[in-house]
């Protein structure tokens, strides 16, 4: 299991927007330089974040990205839900056809379903406790420490 890089790219986007907002128009091209991925990847993630109501993107001269909520109200969970393609809200994908003739195959769902649900719930609770504001604070501190 692995959460895709869309999640960390989205957090990187929010961090760049906040850190550079006073000095630069933060665009997909600007972000692709910081994140080191194709601007098309950035644009797709920006569309997902826009659809989730987390940001607004203005194109053209004077355009850029605006965060639509206070940073301490945007949790890792909000970002995860916006950018991750999780089937039916389930993080773990179960193989489709365990053999009902096999004692393990016939019982594996009963053995694992509750456990996997508990793990996902614990992860989501933890993600709700971490915010973009936490990341920004840490990033700004590290940037300031580098200057000294």
pLDDT of residue 147: 85
Strand partners, 131: 75
3-state secondary structure 91-136: CCCCCCCCCCCCHHHHHHHHHHHHHHHHHHHHHHHHHHHCEHHHHH
Domain presence at residue 101:
no
Tokens of 66: 């605006």
Strand partners, 57: 65
Tokens of 45: 């993630």
Domain presence at residue 126:
no
Domain presence at residue 97:
no
Domain presence at residue 71:
yes
pLDDT (tens place) for every residue of the chain, 148 residues total: 457 789 999 999 999 999 998 888 888 889 999 999 999 999 999 999 999 999 999 887 777 899 999 999 999 999 999 998 666 677 787 777 889 999 999 999 899 989 998 999 999 999 999 999 999 999 999 999 998 8
Domain presence at residue 114:
no
Domain presence at residue 105:
no
pLDDT of residue 148: 83
pLDDT of residue 87: 62
Domain presence at residue 27:
yes
The domain that contains 64 carries what CATH number? Answer: 1.10.10.10
* Domain of residue 59, residue span: 5-86+131-147
pLDDT of residue 9: 95
pLDDT of residue 2: 57
What is the value of pTM for the model shown? 0.85
Largest CA distance in the chain: 67
Domain presence at residue 125:
no
The DSSP call for residue 24 is S
pLDDT of residue 88: 67
Tokens of 145: 């420490």
Nearest to 91, CA basis, from 114, 70, 71, 119: 119
Domain count, the chain: 1
């Amino acid at each position: 299991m692995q959460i895709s890089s869309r999640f960390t790219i989205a957090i990187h986007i929010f961090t760049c927007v906040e850190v550079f907002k006073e000095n630069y128009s933060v665009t997909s091209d600007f972000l692709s330089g910081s994140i080191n991925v194709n601007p098309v990847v950035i644009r797709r993630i920006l569309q997902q974040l826009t659809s989730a109501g987390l940001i607004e993107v203005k194109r053209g001269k004077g355009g850029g990205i605006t965060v639509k909520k206070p940073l301490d109200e945007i949790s890792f969970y909000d970002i995860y839900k916006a950018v991750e393609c999780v089937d039916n809200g389930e993080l773990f994908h179960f193989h489709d056809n365990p053999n009902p003739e096999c004692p393990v195959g016939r019982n594996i769902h009963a053995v694992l379903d509750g456990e996997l649900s508990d793990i996902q719930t614990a992860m989501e609770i933890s993600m709700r406790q971490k915010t973009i504001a936490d990341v920004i604070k840490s990033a700004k501190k590290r940037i300031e420490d580098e200057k000294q």
